[in-house]
Amino acid sequence: MSPRLRARARPREHDYTLDDLRPLLVRPEQERLKSLEQKLESPDALAEAVGEVLPQAAVASQRRGEELSSAMQPIMLANIREAVRKNPELFADAIFPSIGPAVRKAAKAALEAMLQRVDDIVERTMTLDSLKWRVEARRTGRPFAEVVMRHSLVYRVEHVFLLHRESGLVLQHVATDGAEAKDPDQVSAMLAAIDDFARDAFRVEKESGLSRFSVGGLTGVVEHGPRAVLVAIVRGVATKDVEASLVETLEYIHGEYREPLENFKGEVAAFEPTREALLGCMREERIRKQKSQRRGLIAIAGLSAFALTGVVIAGGVLYERHQRFDGYVEALGAEPGVTVTRSGRAGGRRFVEGLGDPLARDPATLLPSHGLDLAEVELHFEPMISLDPPIVERRAWQVLRPPPGVSLHLEGGTVVVAGVAERAWIDRARLVATTLPGVDALDDTRLFDGEALHRTQAAAATLEGLEISFAPRSARLKRAELEDLDAAARAARELLAAAPRAGLSARIELVGHTDAAGTPEANLRLSEQRAANVAAELVKRGIAATELEARGVGAAEVAARRVTFAVHLVKAGKEP
């Protein structure tokens, strides 16, 4: 072998094998397989992965058909049955709020419909008019029911449409049993087209609109609101009652559904509850004719029995509810701080409107005592400031907040306060009381300054505890008594300054005494002189002579050589 071939045949230092290249070629696939294996082996990871795609899978399956719904339906029904079997009370509680009113309403409607049908059957089959109508029906080829309706009805509202004003979409629609109608959206489009044609052709203002139209024996009554329109399709001659009911219902809908109307984006589910209000517009008025005197006794007896049953069952219940509601409105009107401005029934519910002071009793708290609750009665009260005396008194208590020991009540337009309070509260009461609505004046003649009263009592006790002593048979003051005289003067000044602020009048009495030596006449003169000398010294120290009363008693009360003090306190304005 040549040297060149031997050099090529020698193994190189960096030659790679297949095992060395495998990681470079299949590493990404190996990592993905490992990640997939981890997800399949871990329940939490698998649940998270399935949860990410389950909604899209459900949507995609729904597009292809109903296979997923059919597969899930048995499972869902089994779960519901099991839940109801284990806890029937939960299911009963869930449907109770709606099933109770629905049963009562259905029973009432069925009773009214039965009575009306019986009355119509008797009227149609036992009078001469019914024979005439059958002849007319045969002659004209019209159905007998149509002929009867044409002769017995003044009007009947057969359809009521609630339309969104801007878009013209139908938000809700109700119709009488047996009434025929096209698709409500087609009716809405037809009304919008007529309305637009009238505006464009006759240059009608935008705020105005179609109010009434007639087609054959039908009349359309239209009521426009800021954001919604009500249309009633009436068979016969529509009276003002129809328009009034539409106006009232439209106002109710604008009040209760203002936000959904303003933010309407095509979703009509929010207006499903308006069906109850629209049913209130479904009215009819029949021609009342005098009953034929030839009606048989059996028919009269049957009709009377049905009528009596209706009166006993339906009338009794309605009368009782009416009485309870009237009693509640009367009691509410008698409450201080509450004024009832309007009450009645609208949109299938009773209502009470008025004004109420924030300090008055909550109108809702009176409902239970009359057998009512908020589900039956809608309350709407605007705030006001009442001048009823009980409310004015409550307002005075709330604002002034009398401290313990102070009473407060209202007499006429005057707030009367009595007791003992701090000076700061007294000043605030005098400043604030007459600014309160319904308060004309503040009577604080029986209100005393607590601090001043305490100071008055302390000064009186100090003064009555002092004694000024004298030498035997002498009326001259000893130098040693000057300190006690100064203390007496300070106590007297404090007493006379604090007593008026406490609502009191103070009188200081100086009583002179002597020992038993000497005659009674001499002792009386000596005691009087001693009291007069002490009074003169107090005057020198700034005490007004009019505030002092000096008298002598000799040795009659106490056999001692001294002058004592007595303080007399009385309410200001009264004679001591």
Q: Residues 250-309: pLDDT tens digits? A: 889 888 888 888 888 888 888 888 888 888 888 777 766 554 444 544 555 556 666 666
Q: Is residue 549 a contact partner of residue 510, using CB atoms and an 8 Å limit? A: yes
The CA distances from residue 562 to 478, 516, 558, in Å, are 11, 13, 9
pLDDT at 270: 84
Distance separating alpha carbons of residues 82 and 229, to the nearest angstrom: 47
Mean per-residue pLDDT, 495-514: 89
Q: State the CB neighbour count (10 A cutoff) for residue 222.
A: 20
CA 514 to CA 526: how far, in whole Å?
A: 7
Strand ranges (E), 319-440: 338-346, 349-356, 377-383, 406-411, 414-421
Which residue(s) pair with 467 in the sheet? Answer: 564
Q: Residue 70 corresponds to which tokens in the numbers above?
A: 């059919």
How far is residue 362's CA from residue 356's CA, in Å, rounded to a whole number? Answer: 8
Contact 480, 562 (CB under 8 A): no
Using CA atoms, how far apart are residues 332 and 336, in angstroms rounded to an integer? 9
Task: Assess contact for 152 and 133: CB atoms under 8 A.
Answer: no
Nearest to 393 by CA among 412, 374, 420: 412
Q: Which amino acid is at 161?
A: F
Pairwise CA distance, residues 327 & 43, whole Å:
66
Give the fold, CATH level 3, of 451-571.
Answer: 60s Ribosomal Protein L30; Chain: A; (3.30.1330)
Copy the structure tokens of residue 378.
Answer: 């809608």
Would the pLDDT of 576 be above 50?
no
- pLDDT at position 399 is 94
CB 221 within 8 A of CB 212: yes
Within 13 Å, how many C-alpha atoms sit on residue 207's CB side?
A: 0
Report the pLDDT value the prediction gives residue 140, as an integer from 0 to 100: 76
- Collapsing DSSP to helix, strand or coil, 252 comes out as helix
CATH classification (class only), 153-285: alpha beta
Per-residue pLDDT band at 224 (split at 50, 70, 90) = confident
| Residue 189 main-chain phi, psi, to 5 deg | -65, -40
Contact 276, 252 (CB under 8 A): no
How does the average pLDDT of the chain come out, rounded?
Answer: 78
CB 498 within 8 A of CB 455: yes
Of the options 1.10.150, 3.90.1150, 3.30.70, 3.30.300, the CATH number for the domain spanning 315-383:
3.30.300
The pLDDT assigned to 34 comes to 74
Choose between 45 and 411: higher pLDDT: 411
* Distance, CA of 466 to CA of 508 (rounded, Å): 13
